[in-house]
A and B are shown apart, each in its own frame.
Chain A
């Protein structure tokens, strides 16, 4: 297992499947009356959040506590520059307090990579979302959700997502979730299609391992899972699209559109949803929508990642370790 988790692109197929299988073990812990494992007892994990994020931070915290780690929450609002203290100094301060792992959320793309590779600290670094770059645990929990729903919790063990057709819809340009998902889903053998207005797809996307379409209705019948990405209303002020209504009409998912999807297909959303913008209440509240499951799965995935990175002593999953990949 690698020492840090910075990008979904760093994971091999076997690494990723191993994490998903471990998460499956962790998910079973969540079904027990006592949801705690001693795996990380005596280890200290700091959640270093330079950006506001309630759900990701709480998810990591729940995962850390279920593994019996000591948890420190450090919310540093704004950039290191506006705070006056540099990222390096903040990280070194925390490490001096004996931190074994740093879970970092930062508004600047590449900040976790810098933290892991600049020789500033020795602790393991887990990227909890950096700028518009990567959010690898989100991609893992999404893949985990897809595997559970489209293959099955037990049948899925040891398997990837070969041949599954996954559609991501919305603001790809500003989305670390989209980047992470494209990387991981490709690694797991899925066929990914991005659907967005051309303004919200980055220049250079033609080199990504996925297809791009501007027409949601044509892609929906060929999708096993449709992931709606959050679209910030402010984007229309920068002329990415004319109005909220036009965006919803062309790229929003409503009941009528959902009916075009195959019967087994699921609707996903990384949250927080903007109801009425990219998704209607009818879809968000339907049985096909996995938003709440994704949240639960997020805790299992983060437990698996923390466990594997911090090298828990006893095997949590009954599968052999993969080769070191980094």
Chain B
């Protein structure tokens, strides 16, 4: 088996150490390591983290291969430092059967750039009416444990209750896209000062918060765990904080864009800022950062949502919702959380690798950087400063809100079970 020696890397942001990879495993972590015949990577003080894990990725295949495929999406993931992604179920056809999740799983295996764990739909066709065959998806080769109708909310309280209960049989978790549908009919952006002025349909914070409040109470009642997707408001933070203090088994994610951007950007009417849930206010952004720091919000998930150019090169109301995020996530977290002193690199490893792996049950990911562990690793040049250039993306889509914006940090190397998928910033 081949060996790789990473020399002088700040493991989890600590003192510089050497890390020796043998085959698929970390053989040793220490100083002054050497190994004959090993490929040597001079880290030069770069940060070494466990490979990132994204609990919320849209790979679009099958059905929307014009925006992304499993191959291009996993290449984007490797570029962004990810070694595992969870693929959302809102494909065409919907991933609501064992057949579709096995297809996505197989495509992930073939891609080789990162592990792809399919998420199964909660309800047939994401329609919120009838439970999909959750057990069959779990028992399939894909071994689905995370279920979500993401893109749509499981708004029927009885269906949600049943789903929460049902997946207990095999240790599954429901990831809720919290959006009360009646309160968000025709919604185009956050409801508030800016929407009033722009005349765009409002997406009120209460439409998210009321569903989260309901679902944490349901989870408590039936003794299940629940995961909240892309939490976006200060009020949602308060509810999750309350639920955790009560001992309710709830976990929550925040996207990089909700940690950085606000609805003021919508004044440009540029649909690159159109996303669901929408960009909120400065107050929400600050509350989300604080909640991620104190652990109320468990993880960062990208909600990587590729769209073809024409779906964004149009008027706001006609544009698709969503932004790509795999290749900028770590930089945004570095800017908003590390450089503000809110998170250490060790804590970043927790929020972007260990916790998401734990919530999703991604075996072998999110492990400590120590001898005997799988060699899923990412090396980050944190001193790098550069403008985001969408043309450099590995993703098939370019719908990033950060074009031309200076972000810190750059992923230089990614290893998936000892095999380099990214070397010096280039896909291997």
- Tell me, yes or no, whether A binds B: yes
B177-220 with Cβ < 8 A to chain A:
188, 191-200, 202, 204
CB-based contact B317/A204 at 8 Å? no
A123-145 with Cβ < 8 A to chain B:
130-134
For A133, give the chain B residue with the smallest CB separation: B199
CB-based contact A111/B315 at 8 Å? yes
CB-based contact A207/B199 at 8 Å? no
Chain B 375-396, CB-CB to A under 8 Å as 1, else 0, gives 0000000000000000000000
CB-based contact B196/A79 at 8 Å? no
Whether A208 sits at the interface, judged by CB under 8 Å, is yes
CB-based contact A204/B315 at 8 Å? no
Q: Contacts A86-B310, A113-B269, A114-B269: A202 and B315 contacting too (C-beta < 8 A)? A: no
Q: Contacts A110-B269, A113-B269, A202-B202: A207 and B314 contacting too (C-beta < 8 A)? A: no
B317-337 with Cβ < 8 A to chain A:
317-318
Q: Contacts A130-B199, A202-B202: A109 and B316 contacting too (C-beta < 8 A)? A: yes
A86, A110, A134, A208: most-surrounded residue (chain B CB, <10 A)? A110
Whether B127 sits at the interface, judged by CB under 8 Å, is no
CB-based contact A203/B202 at 8 Å? yes
For B271, give the chain A residue with the smallest CB separation: A114
The chain A residues found within 8 Å of chain B, CB to CB, are: 79-81, 86-88, 106-111, 113-114, 117-118, 130-134, 176, 179, 202-205, 207-208
A-B contact list, 7 entries, CB within 8 Å: A86-B314, A108-B318, A109-B199, A131-B199, A132-B200, A179-B199, A202-B202
CB-based contact B192/A203 at 8 Å? yes
CB-based contact A132/B269 at 8 Å? no
Q: Determine the distance from Cα of A207 to Cα of B264 in the docked complex, in whole angstroms.
A: 14
Report B-chain residues with C-beta under 8 Å of the C-beta of A204: 191-197
Q: Determine the distance from Cα of A251 to Cα of B316 in the docked complex, in whole angstroms.
A: 33
Q: Contacts A86-B310, A86-B313, A113-B269: A205 and B196 contacting too (C-beta < 8 A)? A: yes
Report B-chain residues with C-beta under 8 Å of the C-beta of A81: 314, 318
Q: Determine the distance from Cα of A87 to Cα of B196 in the docked complex, in whole angstroms.
A: 24
- State which of B199, B314, B315, B316 has its C-beta within 8 Å of the C-beta of A134: B199
Q: Determine the distance from Cα of A130 to Cα of B200 in the docked complex, in whole angstroms.
A: 10
CB-based contact B313/A88 at 8 Å? yes
Q: Determine the distance from Cα of A202 to Cα of B188 in the docked complex, in whole angstroms.
A: 14
CB-based contact B315/A106 at 8 Å? yes
CB-based contact B191/A203 at 8 Å? yes
The chain B residues found within 8 Å of chain A, CB to CB, are: 188, 191-200, 202, 204, 268-270, 310, 313-318
Report A-chain residues with C-beta under 8 Å of the C-beta of B199: 109-110, 130-134, 176, 179
CB-based contact B316/A208 at 8 Å? no
Q: Determine the distance from Cα of A203 to Cα of B269 in the docked complex, in whole angstroms.
A: 19
Q: Determine the distance from Cα of A122 to Cα of B272 in the docked complex, in whole angstroms.
A: 22
Report A-chain residues with C-beta under 8 Å of the C-beta of B269: 109-110, 113-114, 117
For B266, give the chain A residue with the smallest CB separation: A110
Q: Contacts A113-B269, A114-B269, A203-B192: A179 and B197 contacting too (C-beta < 8 A)? A: yes
Report B-chain residues with C-beta under 8 Å of the C-beta of A118: 270, 313
CB-based contact A110/B198 at 8 Å? yes
Q: Determine the distance from Cα of A130 to Cα of B317 in the docked complex, in whole angstroms.
A: 11
Q: Contacts A114-B269, A179-B197: A80 and B202 contacting too (C-beta < 8 A)? A: no
Q: Determine the distance from Cα of A134 to Cα of B200 in the docked complex, in whole angstroms.
A: 11
Report B-chain residues with C-beta under 8 Å of the C-beta of A106: 315
Q: Determine the distance from Cα of A179 to Cα of B193 in the docked complex, in whole angstroms.
A: 13
Q: Determine the distance from Cα of A132 to Cα of B201 in the docked complex, in whole angstroms.
A: 9
Given contacts A79-B317, A86-B318, A131-B199, 11 further A-B contacts (CB under 8 A): A86-B313, A86-B314, A108-B316, A109-B316, A117-B269, A130-B199, A133-B198, A203-B192, A203-B202, A204-B194, A207-B197
- State which of A110, A117, A176, A202 has its C-beta within 8 Å of the C-beta of B316: A110
Taking the nearest CB of chain B, how far is it from the CB of A198, in angstroms?
14
Report B-chain residues with C-beta under 8 Å of the C-beta of A110: 198-200, 269, 315-317
For A131, give the chain B residue with the smallest CB separation: B199
Q: Determine the distance from Cα of A203 to Cα of B196 in the docked complex, in whole angstroms.
A: 6
- State which of B195, B270, B318 has its C-beta within 8 Å of the C-beta of A80: B318
A106, A109, A111, A113: most-surrounded residue (chain B CB, <10 A)? A109
Q: Determine the distance from Cα of A109 to Cα of B188 in the docked complex, in whole angstroms.
A: 10
Taking the nearest CB of chain B, how far is it from the CB of A75, in angstroms?
17
Report B-chain residues with C-beta under 8 Å of the C-beta of A207: 193, 196-197
CB-based contact A80/B314 at 8 Å? yes
Q: Contacts A110-B269, A203-B191: A80 and B315 contacting too (C-beta < 8 A)? A: yes
Taking the nearest CB of chain A, how far is it from the CB of B161, in angstroms?
28
For B310, give the chain A residue with the smallest CB separation: A86
Report A-chain residues with C-beta under 8 Å of the C-beta of B268: 117
CB-based contact A203/B315 at 8 Å? no
Q: Determine the distance from Cα of A160 to Cα of B27 in the docked complex, in whole angstroms.
A: 80
Report B-chain residues with C-beta under 8 Å of the C-beta of A179: 197, 199
Taking the nearest CB of chain A, how far is it from the CB of B182, in angstroms?
10
Report A-chain residues with C-beta under 8 Å of the C-beta of B202: 202-203
Q: Contacts A113-B269, A114-B269, A203-B204: A88 and B314 contacting too (C-beta < 8 A)? A: yes
For A87, give the chain B residue with the smallest CB separation: B315
Taking the nearest CB of chain B, how far is it from the CB of A104, in angstroms?
10
CB-based contact A87/B317 at 8 Å? no
Q: Determine the distance from Cα of A283 to Cα of B172 in the docked complex, in whole angstroms.
A: 66
Report B-chain residues with C-beta under 8 Å of the C-beta of A176: 199
Q: Determine the distance from Cα of A107 to Cα of B200 in the docked complex, in whole angstroms.
A: 11
CB-based contact A109/B200 at 8 Å? yes
Taking the nearest CB of chain A, how far is it from the CB of B233, in angstroms?
14
CB-based contact B192/A108 at 8 Å? no
Q: Contacts A130-B199, A202-B202, A203-B204: A108 and B194 contacting too (C-beta < 8 A)? A: no
Report B-chain residues with C-beta under 8 Å of the C-beta of A203: 191-192, 195-196, 202, 204
CB-based contact B310/A114 at 8 Å? no
Taking the nearest CB of chain A, how far is it from the CB of B279, in angstroms?
15
Report B-chain residues with C-beta under 8 Å of the C-beta of A111: 315-317
Taking the nearest CB of chain B, how far is it from the CB of A32, in angstroms?
39
CB-based contact B315/A114 at 8 Å? yes
Q: Determine the distance from Cα of A312 to Cα of B188 in the docked complex, in whole angstroms.
A: 39
CB-based contact B198/A87 at 8 Å? no
Q: Determine the distance from Cα of A114 to Cα of B269 in the docked complex, in whole angstroms.
A: 7
For B196, give the chain A residue with the smallest CB separation: A204
Q: Determine the distance from Cα of A81 to Cα of B318 in the docked complex, in whole angstroms.
A: 7
